[in-house]
């Protein structure tokens, strides 16, 4: 059985934007029947809020939208790259920080910007099973999900709307990646069964019927 496809959403403190994205994307996966194939988590680039719950305004917006939510904030660690397939940054600052943290170029390529999957964004022009890989020159801030922490409730509602819109495109990309994995697995050559052991007289042991 293939390992699950693993995604981690990352913002600054892991109390506003990334837990919101985690909850929304979990719901999309469940609706699409992919929740058993994809694991979703979230974290922050900093550890200021480690152990805390999500911002109460995040919780309120998620509840109003009908999203289930339980959360404990964590800080992203470089060692996590090895087990993750995608690291989704909520803004360009997070993306740069995460790529700088990545141990290898391959790990850095796992970092994508969430809104690059929104309709009409740069991901539409991408190629491969997981589009959305932007160069630093593409990071103008136009695709950021803005930090609502120091604003009012309306800012959290705006973030949720942006996240919901981009999640549709991300879901399509993940679905494509899962299909590609299944095709590769189906094409993998079957391993021949090992020969039956010989007894002490050199004869093959009989297989059980």
Q: Which residues are catalytic?
A: 11, 17, 147
Q: Would you say the C-alpha torsion 139, 80, 55, 121 has a positive or negative sign?
A: positive
- Cβ burial, residue 146 (10 Å; 0-12/13-18/19+): middle
Nearest Cα to Cα of residue 118 among 173, 158, 157, 156? 173
Q: In this structure, are residues 176 and 129 in contact, taking their beta carbons and an 8 Å threshold?
A: yes
Strands 38-44 and 86-89: unpaired
Q: Is the dihedral of CA 109, 113, 114, 115 positive or negative?
A: negative
Report the side by side order of strands in the sheet with 111-113: 38-44, 5-11, 86-89, 111-113
**Cα–Cα distance, 87 to 126 (Å, whole number):** 17
Q: How far apart, in whole angstroms, are the C-alpha atoms of residue 158 and residue 117?
A: 17
Q: Which residue has the tokens 């892991």?
A: 14
């Amino acid at each position: 059985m293939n390992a699950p496809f693993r995604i981690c959403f990352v913002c600054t403190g892991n109390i506003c934007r990334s837990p919101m994205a985690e909850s929304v994307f979990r719901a999309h996966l469940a609706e699409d029947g992919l929740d058993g194939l994809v694991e979703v988590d979230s974290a922050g680039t900093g550890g200021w809020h480690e152990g805390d719950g999500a911002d109460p305004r995040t919780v309120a917006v998620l509840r109003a939208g009908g999203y289930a939510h339980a959360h404990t904030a964590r800080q992203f660690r470089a060692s996590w790259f090895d087990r993750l397939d995608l690291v989704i940054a909520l803004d360009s600052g997070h993306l740069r920080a995460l790529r700088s943290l990545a141990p290898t170029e391959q790990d850095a390529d796992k970092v994508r910007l969430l809104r690059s999957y929104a309709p009409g964004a740069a991901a539409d022009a991408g190629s491969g099973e997981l589009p959305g890989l932007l160069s630093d020159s593409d990071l103008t801030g136009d695709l950021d999900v803005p930090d609502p922490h120091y604003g009012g409730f309306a800012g959290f509602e705006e973030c949720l709307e942006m996240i919901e819109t981009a999640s549709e495109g991300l879901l399509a990309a993940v679905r494509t990646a899962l299909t590609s994995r299944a095709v590769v697995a189906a094409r993998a050559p079957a391993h021949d069964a090992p020969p039956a052991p010989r007894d002490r007289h050199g004869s093959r042991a009989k297989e059980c019927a």
